[in-house]
Amino acid sequence: MIRLGVVGYGYWGPNIVRNFADVPGCQLVAVSDMRPERLALVRGRYPTVRTYADPNELVADRRVDAVIVVTPVSTHYDLAMQALRAGKHVLVEKPLASTSEQAARLIDEAARRQLILSVDHTFVYTGAVRKIRELVTSNSLGDIYYYDSVRVNLGLFQHDVNVIWDLAVHDLAIMDHVLPSQPIAVSATGMSHVGNEPENIAYLTLFFQDRLIAHLHVNWLAPVKVRRTLIGGSSKMIVYDDLEPSEKIKVYDKGVTVNGNGNGNGNSRYRMLIDYRSGDMCAPQLDITEALNTEAKHFIKCVEGGQPTMTDGHAGLRVVRILEAATASIAARGRVIELDAVGCAV
């Protein structure tokens, strides 16, 4: 039985607690939050769970085998490192840390102590994203040409991070999980429209070694909520709309074919060389289990078996490195920031 403690019972914490409380092989034993009214909610719903106002006391609790950190980004590193040094397995809300240096230190500490370190890249555990990975790895789409995503809504404004660290992190985590290669450079632009707060709108372009290109649009100041991704391949294309109640993924047998038989000049030659293919559309059946439930079971299984999770510290580090590079690019008004083979800004 893995005994679990959760640090943070704010916006996301109740979802974490609810899902882990129902996982076989896991016992929720402690929750920490600095606000008395939040702890009162915990005691009302989970009367057998011990509550702490001080997260240090939760980490020091010898009954706790694993700690989940669900707090502001600026606190992730200190709390996760403290838990690792106390011999606890750790799951951290996204992003893993504020800097790639901090993320790398967490990875080293977990490896040295033979502990599981994971990051809550929740979308990786959705049935939709797992199906996309299956389609990409089976080469159903052919060569991947582009990844294009829009993730916008009105709020929730964050005060300690900008919109890319809040919203783009989701798409970067999905990309890291489903695409066959890592980006080699990033260019980003963004702007703040609310006082001295961090950027509330941003555009990221990621370049890869081959012809693959990715573009992300994130915005806290949109009149509608949009969660849509296009993935274009040489054989088929995917439309992924997370807000669809059903048919979240649609796979289109559409594209272009170069026939190589053109013998004219100018536009006539172009028309003869390019053929447009428009076939069927299918909507594959998806696992509709709540992503956090799937992630919770996966984390507990990995802790029991001593195996890394699908979203381990290395996945978290790759995403943080891209976020760092994008932040530097925004500050330089879109300057291209080169990345090394594993996504580190150079």
Asked whether residue 341 carries a pLDDT value surpassing 50, the answer given is: no
| Domain shared by 199 and 325, yes or no | yes
| Domain shared by 79 and 161, yes or no | no
pLDDT digits (tens, 9 = 90+) for 168-189: 999 999 999 999 999 999 999 9
Residue 316 covered by a domain: no
Q: CA-CA distance, 205 to 147, in Å (whole number)?
A: 10
| Domain shared by 278 and 133, yes or no | yes
| Domain shared by 108 and 144, yes or no | no
Residue 326 covered by a domain: yes
| Domain shared by 6 and 100, yes or no | yes
Structural domain count of the chain: 2
| Domain shared by 221 and 329, yes or no | yes
| Domain shared by 276 and 133, yes or no | yes
> Which H or E element spans position 123?
none
Residue 135 covered by a domain: yes
Q: CA-CA distance, 188 to 217, in Å (whole number)?
A: 10
Least confident of 2-11, 204-213, 261-270, 330-339: 261-270
Asked whether residue 336 carries a pLDDT value surpassing 70, the answer given is: yes
The arrangement of strands across the sheet holding 237-241 comes to 274-282, 249-258, 237-241, 221-233, 144-154, 213-219, 201-207, 185-191, 337-338
pLDDT digits (tens, 9 = 90+) for 101-132: 999 999 999 999 999 999 999 999 999 999 99
Of residues 298, 262, 255, the one with CA closest to residue 121: 298
Q: What is the pLDDT of residue 343?
A: 46
| Domain shared by 142 and 166, yes or no | yes
pLDDT band for position 252 (cuts 50, 70, 90) = very high
| Domain shared by 234 and 135, yes or no | yes
- 139 CA to centre of own chain: 23
| Domain shared by 332 and 184, yes or no | yes
Pairing of strands 89-93, 26-32: unpaired
Q: At a CB cut-off of 8 Å and minimum separation 6, what does 1 contact?
A: 25, 26, 27
Residue 345 covered by a domain: no
Range of the domain at 256: 124-288+321-338
Task: Name the H helices within 46-191.
Answer: 55-60, 73-85, 100-113, 127-137, 163, 169-178
| Domain shared by 72 and 138, yes or no | no
Residue 243 covered by a domain: yes
| Domain shared by 93 and 240, yes or no | no
Q: At a CB cut-off of 8 Å and minimum separation 6, what does 41 contact?
A: 9, 14
Asked whether residue 291 carries a pLDDT value surpassing 80, the answer given is: yes
Least confident of 142-146, 275-279, 330-334: 275-279
Q: Is the pTM value of this prediction over 0.75? A: yes
